[in-house]
Structure formats: structure tokens, C-alpha cells
């Protein structure tokens, strides 16, 4: 006779009924997104509910769901709304949510083992290789995000490119397997990393974590189109070699977060090969433009990099979080990360037998089954539907840019061939600080009134409204709406500026966020 285990539903019928209701509510919620504000502030009574202490006793799960429905559901970040274009968030394909739910139900950990979940992740990696025209011989790993991908890639680069006979400056009687044993300090190697000054800040974190030091991430100036200055790059590498440093890695951007700029990827590839550097491409969102024949020439060289990161939770519209690191040479990740322990060693057959151990390809041992939502969504829609959505985003941003260009009171400050455009409200004779104040005010009104959610950045010292369209729910009329709102709010705030005189009315600060 089994006893009822704790933490299981006391009544499976109750569990089933709540699940059906949740799925019904999900469908209503997603079908009605456009009617709701993009964002709204969390009221004080709701905030107070999140300060309640640890529950000592349980409550019916339907009541917990009710609390979710009233305190969490109405107050999200907003990125599933058709008019959200802030930072670099994605919109979330509905069917993928079922993949996430089922991943939690079967609750596999994806470190190693001979089971179907491992095979699904392997298959998703292979699908991404095909989608991005990456060589099939390579390897890969799904990660939480591109930030984790960058640090993993740089760690692999460091092991792959470490001087083979790094002289140890520390006396030791232990046998050494090289850089991984000796570490950076004892090996006496000071690595340097190169990328444009528009490179994402996750690379700063990576070089810091790896002990390379942020100072040795050389941020190379960019040209007028925010692409790396190749001459300055070559000079920086030469100077570092002359100084006895060890150039390690060159980063190419396939879509910078600020403006969507694409570095000359093939030229960078050639420089990396000449200089024997690891070539890493940050394609966090831009890599997916490989799906468009029109854009492949712009990304030429991407598929020959040593490593590439792409965030499926951005321009492949997957729910957070899922990103992929692709590596050109098989075995490189294992060379950097494999570690043996008796309790995790594999066996020839049975549940531990599988040729790939994802835990040997990165930092994480326990890993969630994030591949399943991707598998669900790609099987349901097929890659062609994703390519169409990406092409539509490119066309929408081109439409926005053309309308901004045509408007006398708007200035297009930067636009990319991808899905990013930066613009601002302008008027004749506007003082720079007044223009910045008005544009901050416009953005703040758009965001806090829940009208639309672009974000902002600063380009050439100017505060600009930034749109990054990773949203499969957007259509061009949403951008017509945005332009109408920006112009109307802009005219209002400009009038207030002018009547307030040179000091201007107090500016408002837009909400913070991260890319
Ligand atoms: C978003 C982004 C990153 C960081 O990715 P996360 O998934 O947020 O960790 C890195 N590079 C670029 C260009 C990005 O847009």
C-alpha cells in the first residue's frame, strides 16, 4: 500500500480542472493583447502583496492562480504586446509555452545521459546550424542568453589559443595539463580581446570573469555607420603584440544593440585568420537575418567564424530564455570545460550512455530542457514562417524609417538593414538640451501611458528614441500609430519648453531596462 506523497495534488480532478481553465485564460489573454496597454505601473496594494512573508501553510491552487491573475498577469514588462520594441526583447511564440510547460512536467536535466530530451537539444542545435548556414561538423550548446554564450566562447578561445608551452612562473611539483591547470596568472599570459566600441557590455563581463581584465578588451572606434574601424583595429593588434601581450579574440558584431550595425564580417574573418585570433561573432539578434536571402550578403563571413551566439528569445521570438552558442570545431568546448568526476562518468549502455554531455560544453551541470519549446515551435510553424516574420519586421522598420525621414519634425539618427531604427523629435532652433528634454518626455509618456514601448539610447551625444522590432505581432500600422503619437506629444512638449523659457520644464526620466 502506497501512502499519498506530500506535494502531489490531493485531487487530480482539481489539478485537471485548473489546468483547463488556465489554458482557456491563456488563449483569451493572447487573443486580446492589442486591446490592453503595453505597460502599466504596479499599484501600491499589489506591490504590498509581494512583500508578504514566507507562506507557512498552503492554500488551494485555484486561489494561488487567482492571485497570479490579479497581481502578476496585468503588470508584466510588456514585451508580448504588438507595440513593444524596447531594448532587445522578443515577443514569445504561443505554442512554445506548451513546450516549456511539458519540459517542466517531464523535468529532465540536460547535462548528460541517453534520453530523448538530450536528443531533442542535439536536434535543435543541428536545426540552428542549418538555419544559419553553419557547418554541420561543428558543435553547440543552448544557453540562457548570449551573455552566457560570450563567456563560454571566450573561455573556449582561451584554451584553444593559449600558448602551448605557457611557461609557469610558479614552482610546482604537480603535472600540468596546461592553461586550465596553471591559470592566467601563473601562465604569465596577458590576453587581449578586440571588438568595436559598440560591442555589447556582456563582453566586458566575460573578460572580467575570465580574469583577462576589462582594460584588455580593446574597444575599437567605429565609423559613421557604427561599424568597426578596420585600420584602427589593425593598429591596436600591432601595438599589443609589440608590447608583448597575447591577442586572443576578435569579435564581430552582426547587429549591434544600439543601432543594429553589422561589422564587415568577412574582413574581420580575414584579419582574425592572418593574426591567428579566435573569431567570435555576436549575432544575438542579427544572426537570424541569415534566413533572408536579401540579407545573406550583409552577413557574409558569419558562418565561417570560430564561434557565434544567437538569441532565440530575441529575433526567433521564443519565450525567455534560450540562446545558442555554435562552435566551428568539434571538441573545443569539451577541451575547455570537460571535467571528470566518478559520480557523473558515463557508461557504455543505459541511461548514462550518450556521445554528448552538454555539461562538458559549458559552465552548467544542471540544465533545463529549454530545447523543447524551440522544437515545438519550429515543428509547428516550420522555419519559413519565422523567415517571413523576420522579413516583415525588416519591412516595418524600413517603413518607420521612411516615414521619419519624410516628416519635417522628426530626424532619423540611425537605421540599420536589420530591425533597429533610432530617431528623435526636432524643431528649428531647438537647443540641444531642450531637444533632449522633449525626447525624454516623449518616451516617458509613450511608456508610462502604455501607448507603445520603444526604448532609448544616446548617439553622438543626442538622446534618441530607439525601436528594435523583434516582434512577430507588430504590423506597419503600429508604427503609423507610434509616429502620430511622437509628433503629437512632441508638439505639446515643445510648446511647454518654449513657454517655460531657456531653463525648460523639469524633464522626466524614462523607465530603465536592459538590452
Ligand atoms: C541582447 C544582446 C546580448 C546579451 O544577450 P542576453 O541574451 O541578454 O544575455 C549580447 N549582444 C547583443 C548584440 C545583444 O543584443
Can you tell me the mean pLDDT for 178-193?
84
Cα separation, 406 vs 177, in Å, equals: 63
Q: Report which of 261, 284, 299 is spatially closest to residue 422, judged by C-alpha positions.
A: 261
Q: Which three cell numbers, joined as nine digits, stand for 424?
A: 528623435
pLDDT at 96 over 90: yes
More confident position, 163 or 148: 148
How far from chain centre, in Å, is Cα 258? 13
260 Rama class: left (phi>0) / alpha (psi -120 to 50) / beta: left
**307 Cα–ligand 1 center, Å:** 15
CA 199/CA 233 separation, integer angstroms? 14
Share of the chain above pLDDT 90, in %: 86
Beta strands in 74-231 (DSSP E): 84-85, 139-143, 191-196, 217-220
What spacing in Å lies between the alpha carbon of 515 and ligand 1's midpoint? 6
Q: By mean pLDDT, which of 3-12, 156-165, 437-446 is the weakest?
A: 156-165
Give the pLDDT score at 104: 98
> For residue 201, how far is its CA from the centre of ligand 1 (angstroms)?
8
Nearest-CA residue for ligand 1 atom 15 is: 257
369 burial type by CB count under 10 A (0-12 exposed, 13-18 middle, 19+ buried) = buried
Which of 384, 400, 502, 509 is closest to 456 using CA atoms? 509
Check residue 181 and report its DSSP letter: H
- Collapsed DSSP state (helix, strand, coil) of residue 272: helix
E-strand ranges in 43-190 read 84-85, 139-143
Measured distance between the N- and C-terminal CA atoms of the chain, rounded to whole angstroms: 54
pLDDT of residue 242: 98
Instruction: Give the β-pairing of 246-253 and 278-282.
Output: parallel
Percent of the chain exceeding pLDDT 70 equals 93
Mutation choice for ligand 1 from 86, 146, 321, CB with most ligand atoms inside 8 A: 146
| CA–CA dist 175, 187 (Å, integer) | 14
Probe target for ligand 1 pocket from 226, 254, 282, 325, with the most ligand atoms within 8 Å of CB? 282
Res 200 pLDDT > 70: yes
Q: Are 403 and 447 in contact (CB under 8 A)?
A: no
Mean pLDDT of 238-267: 97
Give 66's contacts (C-beta < 8 A, 6+ positions apart).
none
Q: What is the pLDDT of residue 384?
A: 98
Mean pLDDT of 106-114: 96
Is the distance from the beta carbon of residue 285 to the nearest atom of ligand 1 less than 6 Å?
A: yes
Structure confidence at residue 438 (pLDDT): 98
Q: Which residue has the higher pLDDT, 72 or 355?
A: 72
Distances (CA, A) of 303 to 49, 132, 300, 326, 334: 49, 7, 7, 10, 21
Report the candidate in 188, 169, 165 with the shortest Cα–Cα distance to residue 177: 165
Classify 264 as helix, strand or coil.
Answer: coil
* pLDDT per residue as tens digits for the range 361-413: 999 999 999 999 999 999 999 999 999 999 999 999 999 999 999 999 999 99
Q: How many residues does the chain have?
A: 515
Q: Which residues pair with 279 in a beta bridge?
A: 250
For CA atoms 506, 511, 512, 513, the dihedral sign is negative
CA-nearest of 90, 139, 126, 124 to 375 is: 124
Does the Cβ of 143 fall within 6 Å of ligand 1?
A: no
Ligand 1 contact, 284 CB (< 6 A): yes
**Considering only CA atoms, which residue is closest to atom 14 of ligand 1?**
284
Ligand 1 centroid–CA 121 distance in Å is: 21
Question: Is the confidence at residue 176, as pLDDT, over 90?
Answer: no
Q: Determine the pLDDT at residue 514.
A: 52
The response to whether residue 200 sits with its C-beta less than 6 Å from ligand 1 reads: yes
Strand partners, 466: 422, 455
Work out the average pLDDT over 178-202.
89
On the question of a cis peptide bond just before residue 383, with omega within 30 degrees of 0, the verdict is no
Q: Which residue has the cell 505639446?
A: 492
What pLDDT is attached to residue 337? 94
This prediction's pTM: 0.94
Which CATH number is associated with domain 136-341? 3.40.640.10
Long-range contacts of 121-124 (CB under 8 A, 24+ apart): 121/358, 121/369, 121/371, 122/356, 123/371, 123/375, 124/324, 124/371, 124/374, 124/375, 124/378
Q: Which residues pair with 220 in a beta bridge?
A: 196
What pLDDT sits at residue 184? Answer: 76
> What whole-number distance in Å separates Cα of residue 116 and Cα of residue 375?
12
Residue linked to cell 524551440: 374
Instruction: Round to whole Å and give the CA distance between 412 and 512.
Output: 23
Residue among 274, 20, 252 nearest 150 (CA): 252
Report whether pLDDT(515) > 70.
no
Give the pLDDT mean for 423-434.
Answer: 96
- Across 297-315, b (16+ Cβ under 10 Å) vs e yields ebbebbbbbbbbbbbbbbb
On the question of pLDDT at 435 being above 60, the answer is yes
Contact present, 347 and 136 (Cβ < 8 Å): no
Return the number of other C-beta atoms located less than 10 Å from residue 241's C-beta.
13
Residue 490 reports pLDDT greater than 90: yes
Task: Report the range of poorest mean pLDDT among 52-66, 183-197, 382-396.
Answer: 183-197
pLDDT in tens, 492-507: 999 999 998 765 565 4
Give the pLDDT of residue 354.
87
Per-residue model confidence as pLDDT tens digits over 11-57: 999 999 999 999 999 999 999 999 999 999 999 999 999 999 999 99
Any atom of ligand 1 within 6 Å of the Cβ of 147: yes
370-389 burial, b for 16+ CB within 10 Å, e for fewer?
A: bbbbbbbbbeebeeeebbeb
Residues 6 or more apart whose CB falls under 8 angstroms from that of 162 comprise: 178, 179, 187, 189
- What's residue 418's pLDDT? 97
For ligand 1, what atom is nearest to the CA of residue 311? 7
Contact 83, 480 (CB under 8 A): no
Amino acid at each position: 500500500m502506497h501512502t499519498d506523497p506530500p506535494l502531489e495534488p490531493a485531487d487530480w480532478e482539481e489539478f485537471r480542472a485548473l489546468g483547463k481553465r488556465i489554458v482557456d485564460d491563456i488563449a483569451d489573454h493572447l487573443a486580446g493583447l492589442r486591446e490592453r496597454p503595453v505597460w502599466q505601473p504596479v499599484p501600491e496594494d499589489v506591490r504590498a502583496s509581494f512583500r508578504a512573508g514566507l507562506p507557512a501553510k498552503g492554500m488551494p491552487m485555484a486561489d494561488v492562480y487567482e492571485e497570479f491573475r490579479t497581481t502578476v498577469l496585468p503588470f508584466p514588462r510588456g514585451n508580448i504586446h504588438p507595440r513593444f520594441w524596447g531594448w532587445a526583447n522578443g515577443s514569445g511564440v504561443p505554442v512554445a509555452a506548451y513546450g516549456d510547460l511539458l519540459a517542466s512536467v517531464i523535468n529532465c536535466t540536460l547535462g548528460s545521459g541517453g534520453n530523448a530530451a538530450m536528443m531533442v537539444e542535439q536536434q535543435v542545435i543541428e536545426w540552428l546550424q542549418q538555419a544559419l548556414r553553419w557547418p554541420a561538423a561543428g558543435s553547440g550548446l543552448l544557453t540562457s542568453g548570449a551573455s552566457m554564450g560570450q563567456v563560454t566562447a571566450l573561455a573556449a578561445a582561451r584554451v584553444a589559443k593559449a600558448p602551448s608551452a605557457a611557461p609557469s612562473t610558479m614552482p610546482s611539483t604537480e603535472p600540468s595539463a596546461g592553461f586550465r591547470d596553471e591559470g592566467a596568472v601563473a601562465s604569465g599570459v596577458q590576453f587581449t580581446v578586440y571588438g568595436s566600441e559598440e560591442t555589447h557590455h556582456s563582453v566586458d563581463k566575460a573578460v572580467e570573469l575570465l580574469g583577462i581584465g576589462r582594460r584588455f578588451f580593446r574597444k575599437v572606434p567605429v565609423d559613421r555607420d557604427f561599424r568597426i574601424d578596420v585600420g584602427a583595429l589593425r593598429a591596436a593588434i600591432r601595438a599589443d603584440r609589440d608590447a608583448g601581450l597575447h591577442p586572443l579574440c576578435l569579435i564581430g558584431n552582426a547587429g549591434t544593440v544600439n543601432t543594429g550595425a553589422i561589422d564587415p564580417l568577412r574582413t574581420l574573418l580575414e584579419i582574425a585568420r592572418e593574426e591567428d585570433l579566435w573569431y567570435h561573432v555576436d549575432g544575438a539578434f542579427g544572426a537570424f537575418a541569415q534566413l533572408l536571402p536579401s540579407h545573406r550578403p550583409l552577413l557574409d563571413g558569419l558562418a565561417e567564424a570560430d564561434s557565434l551566439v544567437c538569441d532565440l528569445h530575441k529575433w526567433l521570438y521564443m519565450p525567455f530564455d534560450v540562446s545558442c552558442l555554435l562552435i566551428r570545431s568539434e571538441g573545443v568546448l569539451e577541451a575547455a570545460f570537460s571535467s571528470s568526476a566518478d559520480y557523473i562518468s558515463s557508461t557504455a549502455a543505459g541511461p548514462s550512455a550518450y556521445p554528448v554531455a552538454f555539461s562538458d560544453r559549458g559552465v552548467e551541470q544542471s540544465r533545463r530542457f529549454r530545447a523543447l519549446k524551440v522544437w515545438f515551435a519550429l515543428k509547428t510553424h516550420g522555419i519559413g514562417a519565422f523567415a517571413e516574420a523576420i522579413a516583415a519586421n525588416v519591412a516595418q522598420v524600413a517603413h518607420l524609417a521612411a516615414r521619419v525621414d519624410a516628416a519635417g519634425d522628426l530626424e532619423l539618427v540611425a537605421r540599420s538593414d536589420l530591425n533597429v531604427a533610432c530617431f528623435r523629435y526636432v524643431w528649428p532652433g531647438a537647443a540641444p538640451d531642450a531637444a533632449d528634454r522633449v525626447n525624454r518626455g516623449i518616451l516617458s509618456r509613450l511608456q508610462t501611458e502604455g501607448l507603445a514601448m520603444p526604448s532609448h539610447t544616446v548617439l553622438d551625444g543626442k538622446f534618441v528614441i530607439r525601436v528594435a522590432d523583434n516582434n512577430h505581432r507588430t504590423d506597419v500600422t503600429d508604427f503609423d500609430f507610434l509616429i502620430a503619437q511622437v509628433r503629437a506629444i512632441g508638439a505639446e512638449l515643445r510648446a511647454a519648453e518654449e513657454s517655460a523659457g531657456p531653463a525648460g520644464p523639469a524633464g522626466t526620466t524614462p523607465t530603465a531596462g536592459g538590452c
